[in-house]
Amino acid sequence: VCNRIEKGTFTINGTEYHVPINNGPNSLHGGIEGFSYKVFDYSLIEDGVKFHYVSKDGEEGYPGTLDFYAIYWLDGASLHIQYSGVSDKDTLINITNHGYFNLNGHASSIDNHTLRILASKFGCVDPDGLYTGELRDVKETAFDFNTEKRIGDFIHSEDEQLIIARGYDHPYVFDTKENQVCLYSPLSGIELKVSTTYPTAQIYSANYLDGQTDKYGKIMHPQDALCIETSYIADSIHKEKNPKVLLKAGQVFEEETIYTFEVRK
């Protein structure tokens, strides 16, 4: 389960489960060793790779043995990532890709990037980064990217939510079913379009980068990248009446996100 689960606890069918507390008082990104730390089996497919992992019952505190696939393939200028899985017990699942994008091509501020997000509402977070359950209208706020806007013109504003999160680290609820997000660097001319079957994305402006090095060995600073974490809404098991994150035994989980890279003429 990507993002945070409040206090690392949840209840399914009357049974309370406990998952590791690894981010303040909450559980983040699947626990101590989420799927990002696992070695997957793989097989080659046409223009892609099919990754496979079996998460055994009780791993990181989650119920059920989950048979999980992540399939990556290229189609022209688009990278497709399709997730699927089946569990033998009712469980939770919410898989994302946490890539850090900087379309300038090197470690540098994303202030110059422009962003478009087709969403009329965003979720508020508390000082621990947990989604509070409150959705706000983006209109006339620093969170309104329904038209393409320069990130640097808004990210440094005095909005209370930006101050709490040290930048953007909030879920956006999409208004459309495709091409929901567009990120662009006028420096390189590279444009990234994100299209997903998921209903939301956590938009994270890498506020906690502090001294790590990028793939070229350059030092990275806060807000040197943007993450577009497509997913079900954060802490869905506590915040939604019918939590999308709940996967019933034998039910097939399947979602897809497509990243398309182009150069604007």
| Catalytic entry in 191, 229, 238, 255 | 229
**136: amino acid identity, one letter:** R
Asked if residue 253 lies in contact with residue 77, where contact means CB atoms within 8 angstroms, the answer is no
Is there a contact between 144 and 106 (Cβ–Cβ < 8 Å)?
Answer: no
**Is 229 known to be catalytic?**
yes
Catalytic site residue from 80, 98, 221, 240: 98
Tokens of 131: 């989604």
Residue count (the chain):
265
255 carries an active-site annotation: no
Give the contacts of 105 (CB within 8 A, at least 6 positions apart). Answer: 185, 187, 188, 190
Q: Tokens 């997730």: give the residue.
A: 83
Distance CA(80)–CA(82), nearest Å, equals 6
Distance (Å, whole) CA 93 – CA 74: 25
**How far from chain centre, in Å, is Cα 236?**
13
Catalytic machinery residues: 98, 229
